[in-house]
């Protein structure tokens, strides 16, 4: 029976896309305790930047490998530029404020970025399919898949592993963990908390913009994609536990596999799957699968 293989593959393919979108959101929350509502807008920004660079590259007719560099470059640059600006200008003044204020500020950032993107790119959809179609297809279990999809799985795994290693194995990573654990003690130890925050937010932003750029060849890059991205990313992160990278990976896998199974076996319920999982997880583990209970400090 080939159906289980197809479900597994479809599920993992979707999980890869979900993870790329959700990873940055969970990192930013994990380090800074800020739920960045504008995360989806960064994703959209990456999609526009990647598509824009690819279109510019296509106009110059270079070798095909350059396409992928343009896509990656657009994705990384968008986050590397916008991340520090947003953190320094908008987030820095509100770290000490209540959560509601932080939510409002990132929400207003979401609205601002939506309009900025409309000013820059208009409302007509941007269309680039080359990077997806160019790699060709492969038949697995009797079903044709695009190589690009399989590549996305690899990129998601590599990204996840690299970020996890960087946080756990490098000096900067350990400083991030220290700041996450206790901001005040970290300051007394001489850690430049401001710089760690800028770094963490920029990494989160790059993950979002990179995700957007990599997904762009599959979708229509147009107004509205940011909302969809943030809703899904939020669901995945809540299932996995806010702030946990492993949680985001597991959450993405659970959502991806369940949705794929629903499409193949019970398409009538597809719409509800993500939210049913969310409800089920929150009923039994209100902090998500990998969430840790928060210790109250006086």
Partner 1 sequence: MRRARGFLSGLAVAAVLAGGMDVVAPVPAAAQAKPAELKIGIVSFLSGAAAVFGVPGRNAAEWLIDKYNREGGIGGVKIRPVYIDEAGGAEKQVAEFRRLVLDEKVDLVIGYISSADCLAVAPVAEELRVLTVLFDCGTKRIFEDSKYKYVFRTKAHEALDNVAAARYVLAMKPDVKTIAGINQDYAWGRDSWDTFKRAMQKLKPDIQVAAELWPKLLAGEYSAEISRLLILKPDVIHSSFWDGDLIGLVKQGAPRGLFGQSLVVFTPGEHMLQDVGKDMPEGVVLGARGDHWFLQTPNDPIHKEFVDGYRAKYGRYPVYPSYHMYQAVAGVKAVYEKAIKDAGGKWPTPDQVIKAFEGIEYRVPPGRTMVIRADHNGIEPAIIGVTKQTGQYPFAVLDKVRVFPPDEVNPPLGMKTNDWIDSWKK
Give the residue with the Cβ less far from partner 1, 96 or 123. Answer: 123
Residue nearer to partner 1 on the CB measure, 32 or 278? 278
Least spacing, CB of residue 218 vs partner 1, in Å: 6
Q: Rank residues 237 and 242 by Cβ distance to partner 1 and give the closer one.
A: 237
Smallest gap from Cβ 219 to partner 1, in A, equals 5
Q: What are the residues binding partner 1 (CB under 8 A)?
A: 3, 6-7, 9-11, 13-14, 17, 114, 118, 123-125, 127, 129, 132-133, 136-137, 142-146, 149, 215, 217-220, 222-225, 227-228, 259-260, 263-264, 267-268, 270-271
Please report, to the nearest 10 degrees, the dihedral formed by the alpha carbons of residues 60, 119, 71, 226 taken in order: -160
Helix spans in the chain (H) = 3-32, 39-60, 65-86, 99-121, 130-134, 147-169, 171-181, 183-188, 193-215, 225-240, 245-265, 270-284
CB of 120 to partner 1, least distance (A): 14
Q: Are 257 and 7 in contact (CB under 8 A)?
A: yes
Least CB distance from residue 47 to partner 1, whole Å? 10
Q: CB 267 → partner 1: shortest distance, Å?
A: 5
Smallest distance from the beta carbon of 113 to partner 1, in angstroms? Answer: 12
- Scored b (16 or more CB within 10 A) or e, 251-286 reads bbbbbbbbbbbbbeeeeeeeeebbeebbeebeeeee
Residue 199's Cα: distance from chain center in Å?
16
Distance CA 50, CA 52 (A): 5
Cβ atoms 110, 42 nearer than 8 A = no
Q: Cβ closer to partner 1: 97 or 118?
A: 118
The least CB distance from residue 183 to partner 1, in Å, is 37
How far apart (Å, rounded) are the C-alpha atoms in residues 19 and 27? Answer: 12
Helix (H/G/I), strand (E/B), else coil: 138:
strand
Q: How does DSSP classify residue 126?
A: B
Task: Read off the tokens for 177.
Answer: 């963990």
Residues 145 and 137 sit within 8 Å (Cβ to Cβ): yes
Instruction: Pick between residue 98 and residue 268 the one whose CB is nearest to partner 1.
Output: 268
In the complex with partner 1, the residue whose CB is nearer, 11 or 291, is 11
Beta carbons of 64 and 89 less than 8 angstroms apart: no
Q: Which two tokens stand for residue 78?
A: 């968008």
Instruction: Give the residue with the Cβ less far from partner 1, 212 or 243.
Output: 212
């Amino acid at each position: 029976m080939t159906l289980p293989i197809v479900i597994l593959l479809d599920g993992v393919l979707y999980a890869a896309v979900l993870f790329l979108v959700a990873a940055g959101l969970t990192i930013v929350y994990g380090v800074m305790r800020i739920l960045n509502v504008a995360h989806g807008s960064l994703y959209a920004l990456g999609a526009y930047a990647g598509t824009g660079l690819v279109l510019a590259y296509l106009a110059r007719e270079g070798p095909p490998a350059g396409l992928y560099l343009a896509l990656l470059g657009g994705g990384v640059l968008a986050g590397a530029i916008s991340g520090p600006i947003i953190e320094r200008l908008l987030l820095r003044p509100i770290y000490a404020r209540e959560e509601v204020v932080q939510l409002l500020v990132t929400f207003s950032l979401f609205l601002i970025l939506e309009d900025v993107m409309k000013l820059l790119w208009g409302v007509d959809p941007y269309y680039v399919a080359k990077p997806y179609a160019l790699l060709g297809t492969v038949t697995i279990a009797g079903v044709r898949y695009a190589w690009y999809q399989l590549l996305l799985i690899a990129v998601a795994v590599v990204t996840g592993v690299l970020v996890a290693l960087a946080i756990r194995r490098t000096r900067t990573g350990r400083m991030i963990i220290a700041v996450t654990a206790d901001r005040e003690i970290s300051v007394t130890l001489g850690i430049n908390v401001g710089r760690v925050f800028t770094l963490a937010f920029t990494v989160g932003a790059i993950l979002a913009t990179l995700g957007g750029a990599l997904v762009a060849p599959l979708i229509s890059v147009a107004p509205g994609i940011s909302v969809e991205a943030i809703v899904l990313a939020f669901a995945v992160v809540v299932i996995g536990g806010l702030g946990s990278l492993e949680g985001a990976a597991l959450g993405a896998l659970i959502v991806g596999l369940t949705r794929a199974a629903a499409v193949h076996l019970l398409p009538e319920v597809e719409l509800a799957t993500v939210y049913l999982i969310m409800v089920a997880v929150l009923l039994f583990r209100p902090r998500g699968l990998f969430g840790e209970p928060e210790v109250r400090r006086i």
